Amino acid sequence: MCGIVGTLNRTKQYSIDESQIRAMLSSIRHRGPDQFGVYLFQDDSDGVGLGNARLSIIDLGGGQQPIPNEDGLLWIVFNGEIFNYVELRPELERLGHELATDSDTEVIVHLYEEYGPACVNHMNGQFAFAIWDERDRSLFIARDRVGIRPLYYTEPDGAFLFASEIKALLTDPRVKAELDPVTIDQIFTYWSPLSPRTVFKGINTLPPGHWLLAKSGQPLQIERYWQPEFPVEQLSGKQPEMSVDEAAAELRRLLVDATQIRLRADVPVGAYLSGGLDSSAIAAFIRHYTGNRLETFSIAFTDKAFDESAFQYRMADHLGTDHHLITASHHDIGEAFPDVVWHTETPITRTSPVPLYLLSRLVRETDFKVVLTGEGSDEFLGGYNIFKENKIRRFWAKNPESTLRPALLTKLYPYIGGLGQSNAYLEKFFGHDLTNTADPYYSHAIRWRNTSRAKRVFSAEFQGSLAGREVARPYLPPDFANWSSMAQAQYLEITVFMAEYLLSSQGDRVGMAHSVEGRFPFLDYRVIEFSNQLPPQYKMMGIDEKHILKRAVSDLLPPEIWNRPKRPYRAPIHHSFFPDNQPLSWVSETLSPASISAAGVFNPNAVSSLVNKINRIGQLSETDDMTLAGVLSTQLVYNQFIADFRTPLPLNNNDDVKVVIRGNQHIN
């Protein structure tokens, strides 16, 4: 895993500055501290600079970037892994390509040489890469199908800049950070931005499953090459092509292979154990289908409402792993929150990334660079309670006067305070717009409405900047209306929540903060595409979530693991910022009226009322908790990236830097 950066002069003449590329790399050295690479090209009409910060995992001795093709006319910088590079290499050699290294990076540049932009369809991996073609002076950039690895870009003053993290872009003096009210409004609705927006004006993300082509004097060309697809809803009575047992066997076969190829590395690979079904299944595949040494890592909480360590120890004992555990207290979470926001580079409405940040530090301290985890199972196999909620509400909507049907909701959210208090409360909360089942966003409307209540703390000026503007709705593909209601809910969860929050703020960023790469067998595109074609009832039989996965792995796991009710990973919020009802020092400073007023997003009086509620009753509702996290993280984004952003010193001669200079003009 690595970090990549680059700049292309498109409409104005600038000499390419090596020190600027070095500064960009210095800002993301946590992503790849092992080696660095710089490629510089300048001629009469074009100039480009590329950079790579390398975390050495495959071909430790020969994989330093940038890497060219045979004739030196294509050059690549790459962040990620191509897991099927072992199979792709002999295919390329049969086509006449000559590969000089054993790295997966070099495979990409030859795939591009052979297939052009269609190269992405041949890759099974997690990636963001940039290839400069000296022949036609083009820069090709691509991001993996579901957005496991990040890529950001901006176009200041006739240039095109890209990087794995936004902070690298901000090192260029032409780029100025400014909060985008529209994106903040989206975050306080959907829990995350809608791509391609970021919280900073003029800085975009390349959406998952897209590629980009940049040339001097031409507008950017951005194309979608992949998106989640589901079958048109089957006619009533039509039998599935596979029985549930046949489908479970095929799912297991695909998952085993996805796990095996994700163990390809020249360094040790560990696994996370959350105590739930997904991570336990991955660890069991490693134990039973490979000869790899297995070390596992888990998070425990001093707050027993969030702790699952008993299940983690049970699974570690069952598999006989060398198990490592870190225990997070309220204070630990609160103190680490500013560092996590620095790495996520966006407001977040929960603290869940913080324990994972602490866990990745433990992984690195144990001398591991790579871990396998269970992300993606809930989204693609129907594990979340929001899918159950959608199913129950639609069932209730067929008989809205029923008093029994809404009672089915009582068991869905026992971990959220304020829900399940009484049937009358549930009927009011979940009954809003109950019969509007034709709404394409029906499955998530309750969640988004509830989250939007946090906007009451926006300042009048900030609300004025949004006046007359409706919050944008997530993109829906043409066939969306013809999918099952389960598929529709899955699509929204995958493209809004998973891509922009789970795999970013709670995935890539907190792992790479400590130079730890996460790998996700459930996000193998073959597993995804197979899962998407399964009948909805195989994923959720009645309201039994991930039914097919339980069938696929139950013989490998203890019953108390595979048969336990789904419990989503969560972390304490207000107790972490106000342990023992007293604010941490940075929290007091960040929530002070002067600090709130300086950023201009929130109303100081409304924020003070929220703080007073903690002082008065020592407890917050789920919505207030999310509001508090959102306010604090937004303030931190403003403070860290706008009010007090500091450009790091460029890489120096003590760093292991490979520099390649091409072209016929002087380069600074």
Q: Quick one: DSSP state of residue 159?
A: E
Strands (E), 35-167: 35-42, 47-54, 67-68, 74-82, 125-133, 138-143, 152-154, 159-163
pLDDT at residue 421 tops 60 = no
Average pLDDT, the chain: 94
Lowest mean pLDDT: which of 9-23, 133-147, 459-473?
9-23
Q: Quick one: 198 and 293 in the same domain? A: no
Beta bridge partners of 81: 126
Q: Quick one: 168 and 277 in the same domain? A: no
Q: Are 120 and 143 in contact (CB under 8 A)?
A: no
pLDDT at residue 417 tops 60 = no
At 422 the pLDDT is: 63
Mean pLDDT confidence for 138-151: 98
Structure confidence at residue 118 as a pLDDT band (50, 70, 90): very high
Q: What is the per-residue pLDDT across 499-545, written as a single tens digit (0 to 9) for each?
A: 999 999 999 999 999 999 999 999 999 999 999 999 999 999 999 99
Question: Is residue 238 in a domain?
Answer: no
Q: Quick one: 516 and 627 in the same domain? A: no
CATH number, domain with residue 50: 3.60.20.10
Q: Identify the residue whose tokens are 């994972």.
A: 356
Q: Quick one: 652 and 637 in the same domain? A: no
Q: Quick one: 122 and 15 in the same domain? A: yes
Q: Quick one: 558 and 579 in the same domain? A: no
pLDDT at residue 235 tops 60 = no
Q: What is the per-residue pLDDT across 265-284, written as a single tens digit (0 to 9) for each?
A: 999 999 999 999 999 999 99
- Three-state secondary-structure class, residue 519: strand
Mean pLDDT confidence for 589-615: 96
**Active-site pick, 2, 74, 255, 657:** 2
CA distance 383 to 356: 20
Q: What is the per-residue pLDDT across 477-502, written as a single tens digit (0 to 9) for each?
A: 999 999 999 999 999 999 999 999 99
Catalytic residue at 119? no
Structure confidence at residue 403 as a pLDDT band (50, 70, 90): confident
Residues spanned by the domain of 28? 2-226+647-663
The one-letter amino acid at 617 = I
CA distances from 121 to 52, 98, 145, 380, 503 (A): 24, 21, 9, 20, 21
Q: Quick one: 12 and 161 in the same domain? A: yes
Question: Nearest to residue 626, comparing CAs of 274, 191, 257, 276?
Answer: 191
Backbone angles phi, psi at 211, to 5 degrees: -125, 160
Question: Is residue 393 in a domain?
Answer: no
Question: Is residue 634 in a domain?
Answer: yes
Question: pLDDT > 90: what percent of the chain?
Answer: 85
CA distance 380 to 251: 12
Q: Quick one: 66 and 207 in the same domain? A: yes
| Number of domains forming the structure of the chain | 3
Q: What is the pTM of this model?
A: 0.96
Please give, one letter per residue, the 3-state secondary structure of 554-574.
Answer: HHHCCHHHHCCCCCCCCCCCH
Tell me the longest C-alpha to C-alpha distance in the chain.
78
